[in-house]
A = this chain, B = another copy of it.
Amino acid sequence: MTDHRELALLLRRLTVELDAVGQRFAEVHGLNRTDVRALVAIMDAARGGESLTAGRLGAAVDLSSASVTALLDRLEKAGHIRRTRDAEDRRRVVLEMSDTAMAAGAEHFGGLQRDLTAAMADYSDDELAVVRRFLVDMTGAIERHSRPEPPATVVGC
């Protein structure tokens, strides 16, 4: 029987290392963890064709509006993003990544992506299918512990 605890430890270790990659990006570019999380969120949105607004970014990284303003001030001053008023709703501020920030992110995280993909080449489709099922199952199990109200199996009230 394979040791289940060892696999759980491996998952945690992988998480720690993946965190360290973001940490490293932050150090190299003189940013803090929140700034990196925000850039990643903006980058992900850009990939999906969407542009984030200040408010949506605050919701995404769980920050107050005051903190988002300070965060965007830092990123803008460093030249990583631009703020522009939305033409349709001029209350909104839409965020766009600068080309240099986009390139820096692509180099850092794209390189990781490339290495991960290369490492996956050693696996058959069947094996990757097993891994995929495993990751989905584990994420589901973890998710049930990461939400505020787990079951709430109450009837009355």
Chain A positions within 8 Å of B, measured between CB atoms, are 1-2, 4-8, 10-15, 17-21, 23-24, 108, 111-113, 115-120, 122-123, 125, 127-132, 134-148
Contact = CB atoms under 8 A, between A and B. Distances in A.
Q: Is the interface of A mostly helix, strand, loop or mixed?
A: helix
22 contacts: A2-B132, A4-B116, A6-B132, A7-B116, A7-B131, A7-B132, A7-B135, A8-B117, A13-B139, A15-B15, A18-B142, A19-B19, A23-B146, A24-B145, A112-B142, A112-B145, A115-B145, A116-B138, A116-B141, A119-B137, A123-B130, A127-B130
B139 A4 contact: no
A147 B139 CA distance: 26
Nearest to A129: B2
State how many copies of this chain the complex holds.
2
Nearest to A136: B10
Given A2-B125, A14-B11, A23-B146, A115 B139 contact: no
